[in-house]
Structure 1
């Protein structure tokens, strides 16, 4: 995959600008930083809030670990891009057009991190939707030991294998912002067909599959909820937990945040198929690049909003814990007792 075959894309200076606008870097850095903050807040909240320790919320924490790695990787890529020497960058681009084996090891490491974490995020998103669906159907926590082990084997193991294959085939590296932001992914010096294949295999194919699967799970859950509500007029007999209804919103989160990146992927596919369209998407692609630079790094921050703000039980207990920290030991004791009694 990484011979001396130069890519048409690596020689298109109009399509691949030497310098990305500073606004793209700012979008990535701000979005990634917010997600890192949001992920840390989720972890802290999960540790100190007793009511947060159920299986649905625990799965969201695992999803957040993956999204945190993505945010860290994208931030790492943006900082690397900001600190690069522009003349050296141009030389590397020209060298890679001749010899595709030349690449930046930091770029490869960052690409490996974000490839693995993005894939893990897709798998954990699907697993959360499956878990909620089965919990709603069975009306009890669907958390057998075997199921838990299977969750981790699939969500961490499959992305690890895919990332290892891509890295061993030397497909990961500097992509010159083809279907990504100011971070690295698939080497842009490969042949267009090879670039599209690795984009699909290491991310976009699984991302599109996640859209359809989560949409299917969402429709099934809403149908089930409507059916139960029609059967039980009294909501107290319904047994549908509010947190389950809340966390099916991750379907909308992943679609809204990543659909622009998917659109840029299809634009890249179109460019690879038709030479005449190579320059047709320049302005549109740059607008979409700004949006993608925010969306691809923002999922951990959106998880934080769901977990710490929109989840009423978690928000209420977290606020009481925060208030208790401001009080003296004598004043704090009754409030902590009240929180623990509510949980029990």
Structure 2
């Protein structure tokens, strides 16, 4: 049914399985909102005094990764929307036999979003570790050595994994295998789910587990402090700064649909005949996988009363910010 000669490929009605326009809209909207949200986070960090602490700095690094993901997914969705349906289906038939991808945009987009997604997982975990250690030690856990380790792990490890995938020529068109309208791992590979685990989903699930564990440890620590001192102030977190320990909820809520699709696709063939369950999940995934910067903007800019008020005062031109960095801990200084 497939051939290297495109004219001899017989495209049937059953072959014409494409994602609904609503899936593309979800990706376009969430990616655009995240780009805007990332810009707001950057502006907030530069202008708002209360936002200038080490934890907010780590959030900026996370936002850089999430911005790359949003831009990459936007490019991927645009490529998908502008594709020629017949040529796309012919390519799918040919890749099932040859597994050779020739679309440079697809491969570059896959490289960027694979790297940025992995980096986002690492930065999310490091933020939770940083807050946990700051809370337990009662001082900013931001030595030069720690900062070097943060960057080496969160940028270096993802880059190494992504280059490994590139060297094995596995990045490219996946033809709907557990993703939205963007490229990731070639869907024609016999070990596609192994590569998806190595280049994303395995680290994503590990991030869920680690960050949830850190969250539980911090909540227990804060609970014991309250019982011991009968005073909320002794756990040394501003009320708004407690939002940081909720950061793992953001990634779980936004990316859970993609993880479920991945697990479901590993046991069921949804590549060529997605059902209602998968179509519902792919809509959620197409919005969620690109929306982390937007969600973090809401949580750490607009939800934070002090940051919101300071930013609003500056917009109105009447702000009188206090000089100096604001500590994460309420009763300590950097």
Structure-2-length-normalised TM-score = 0.90
For residues 70 and 138 of structure 2, what CA distance do their matches in structure 1 show?
35
**Which runs of structure 2 are paired with 1:166-181 in the superposition (5 Å)?**
166-181=165-180
Show the 5 A alignment for 1:208-287: 208-271=205-268, 282-287=275-280
Q: Identify the residue that residue 299 of structure 1 maps to in structure 2.
A: 292
Asked if the contact 1:122/1:210 (under 8 Å) is kept, the reply is yes
**Residue number in structure 2 paired with 1:148:** 147
- Give the distance between the partners of 2:64 and 2:77, measured in 1 at CA: 20
Say if 1:95 and 1:102, in contact at 8 Å, map to a contact too.
no
Q: Is the 8 A contact 1:132 1:244 kept in 2?
A: no
**Length-normalised TM-score, structure 1:** 0.87
> Is the CA contact 2:80–2:181 (under 8 Å) kept in the aligned structure 1?
yes
The 2-side partners of 1:278 and 1:59 are apart by: 37
Equivalent-residue separation in structure 2 for 1:122 and 1:197 (angstroms): 18
**Aligned CA-pair RMSD:** 2.2
2:307 corresponds to: 314
- In structure 2, relative to structure 1, the CA distance for the partners of 1:95 and 1:186 (3 Å cut) is same
Aligned to 1:60: 59
Gaps of 5+ in 1: 5-10, 325-334
Q: What are the ranges of 5 or more consecutive residues in structure 2 without an aligned counterpart? A: 5-10, 327-334
Q: Which residue of 2 aligns with 1:8?
A: none
Pick closer, same or farther for the CA change 1:17–1:179 going to 2, 3 Å.
farther
Name the CA distance, whole Å, in 2 between partners of 1:244 and 1:129: 12
Q: Aligned partners of 1:53 and 1:37: how far apart in 2? A: 20
CA distance in 1, matches of 2:119, 2:245: 18
Alpha-carbon distance in structure 1 between the residues aligned to 2:88 and 2:292: 30
- Shift of residue 103, structure 1, vs aligned partner: 3.0
**Aligned residue in 2 for 1:159:** 158
1:79 equivalent in structure 2:
78
Which residue number corresponds to residue 321 of structure 2?
339
Alpha-carbon offset, residue 96 of structure 1: 1.0
- The residue matched to 2:267 in structure 1 has which SS? helix
Distance 1:12 1:269 in 2: 26
1:319-334 superposed matches below 5 A: 319-324=312-317
Q: How many residues align?
A: 317
- Whose helix fraction is larger, Structure 1's or Structure 2's? 1
Three-state SS of the structure 2 residue aligned to 1:240 is coil
Structure 2 match to 1:205: 202
Q: 3-state SS of the aligned residue for 1:340?
A: coil
Residue number in structure 1 paired with 2:44: 45
**Structure 1 CA distance for aligned equivalents of residues 87 and 179 of structure 2:** 21
Give the Cα separation in 1 of the matches to 2:97 and 2:245.
Answer: 48
CA distance in structure 1 between the partners assigned to 2:183 and 2:12 by the alignment: 18
